[in-house]
């Protein structure tokens, strides 16, 4: 079997390279991930395919082994950083539609939660679809969301939570919006691995988004409804 040093990524065919990138992601090898992303792009791969097939699928494997106690936080953090490095190459390409802004989204991960890969992916895909995205980052208390809504007046508020212990915080934010009398001004979309539609309904969100692609589709549908409402009004 070849040593890691012996593997020349550019000499692998597409399937082998994607497989190797899953392994490199698992091992948290940032430089190799960036190199792999660039090679796939140079071979004509669409940025979205590189993202989903090479990076997201690789991260899924990391997630399974984290769950099963094979990987621990430091290793997963390294994998996450390698994923982010790859996403950094793809971000401008996914955002490069040149389309006029179709709507504005404020998005952030809720208080107590520092997971941001999924949220970043959603932001990137929304930007790619022509949305202006204001990303509040991680660990956001309700005050951050309210301040951002007031400052940026978006069409949509997006919230992300990856932990069963933090997802109930979405209700805190939505309840605060109701209390301030501003809930109806914004569409609220929520997402994150432990959520589902029933949960989204129970906290008073407008929609649950299973993944970034669904988030984009849902955001577009919301904008179509808002535009139709504006024309009718």
- State the residues that interact with ligand B1M by CB under 6 A: 56, 59, 62-63, 66-67, 73, 76-77, 80, 107, 112-119, 121-122, 158, 160, 162-164, 189-194, 209, 211-212, 215
Smallest gap from residue 154 Cβ to ligand B1M (A): 12
Smallest gap from residue 74 Cβ to ligand B1M (A): 8
CB of 39 or CB of 157, closer to ligand B1M:
157
C-alpha pair distances (Å), 229 with each of 179, 222, 224: 24, 10, 9
Smallest gap from residue 84 Cβ to ligand B1M (A): 7
CB of 116 or CB of 155, closer to ligand B1M:
116
For residues 105 and 131, the answer to whether their CB atoms sit within 8 Å is: yes
Smallest gap from residue 62 Cβ to ligand B1M (A): 5
Cα dihedral angle (166, 69, 30, 159), rounded to 10 degrees?
Answer: -10
CB of 45 or CB of 208, closer to ligand B1M:
208
CB of 164 or CB of 202, closer to ligand B1M:
164
Sequence-ordered list of residues with C-beta below 8 angstroms from that of 134, at least 6 positions apart, any chain: 104, 105, 106, 107, 148, 152, 154
CB of 27 or CB of 211, closer to ligand B1M:
211
C-alpha to C-alpha distance for 163 and 180, rounded to whole angstroms: 27
Smallest gap from residue 195 Cβ to ligand B1M (A): 7
φ, ψ at 179 (rounded to 5°)? -60, -40
Question: Tokens 């992916």 correspond to what residue?
Answer: 121
φ, ψ at 101 (rounded to 5°)? -60, 125
């Amino acid at each position: 079997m070849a040593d890691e040093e012996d593997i020349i990524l550019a000499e692998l065919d597409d399937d082998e390279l994607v497989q190797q990138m899953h392994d490199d992601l698992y091992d948290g090898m940032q430089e190799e991930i960036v190199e792999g992303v660039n090679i796939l792009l140079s071979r004509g791969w669409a940025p979205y395919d590189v993202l989903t097939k090479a990076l997201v699928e690789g991260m899924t494997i990391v997630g399974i082994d984290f769950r099963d106690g094979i990987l621990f936080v430091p290793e997963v953090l390294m994998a996450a950083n390698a994923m982010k490095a790859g996403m950094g190459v793809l971000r401008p390409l996914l955002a490069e539609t040149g389309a006029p802004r179709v709507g504005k989204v404020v998005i952030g991960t809720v208080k107590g939660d520092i997971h941001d890969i999924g949220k970043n992916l959603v932001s990137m895909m929304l930007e790619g679809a022509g949305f202006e995205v204001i990303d509040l980052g991680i660990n956001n208390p309700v005050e951050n969301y309210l301040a951002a809504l007031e400052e940026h007046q978006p069409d949509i508020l997006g919230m992300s939570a990856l932990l069963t212990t933090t997802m109930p915080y979405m209700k805190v934010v939505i309840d605060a919006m109701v209390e301030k009398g501003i809930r109806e001004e914004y569409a609220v979309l929520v997402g994150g691995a432990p959520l589902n539609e029933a949960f989204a309904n129970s906290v008073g969100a407008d929609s649950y988004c299973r993944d970034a692609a669904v988030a984009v589709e849902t955001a577009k549908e919301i904008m179509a409804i808002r535009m139709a409402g504006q024309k009718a009004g």
